[in-house]
Amino acid sequence: MTTLLIVDDEHWTRDTVKALVNQELWGINRLDEAVNGKQAIEKIQTVCPDIIITDMKMPGMDGIGLLEVLGREYPDIPVIVLSGYQDFMYTRQAIKAKAIEYLLKPVDEEELNQALGKAIMEKRKLEQQ
């Protein structure tokens, strides 16, 4: 049973990601959404997602703030960053947070599913330790 949390303030981006994720291939049986980092933290506490896909630029708590909290409080949740920005500050923060992948919008279906495969392998590795 695998839960994916998609964090993005743009409804169409969340819908696009949901449409492109190969749920059957990766055994994802629950997709949940949050519109910013603050809502994502609330969802993490109730939903306990296995993987998180997050945007970087969002109102309220942005992706940088979310990655900091995840790194400190939820280091075992693999994160994929999905951003419309080729900004070094965002890339650097994603690297510091040990993000599985940094994908640019518009998201490519093959790249997204490859990143999910990496995230699932990482999650399995962590569970075996």
Q: How many Å from the N-terminal Cα to the C-terminal Cα in the chain? A: 19
Structure confidence by residue, pLDDT tens digits, 75-124: 999 999 999 888 888 888 899 999 999 999 999 999 999 999 999 999 98
Separation CA 107–CA 27 (nearest Å): 21
Beta bridge partners of 30: 3
Match 């998180």 to its residue by tokens.
Answer: 52
For residue 37, pLDDT over 90 is answered with yes
pLDDT of residue 89: 86
For the whole model, what pTM was predicted?
0.95
For residue 39, pLDDT over 90 is answered with yes
Separation CA 86–CA 73 (nearest Å): 27
- What average pLDDT does the chain have? 95
- Six token digits for residue 59: 């109102």
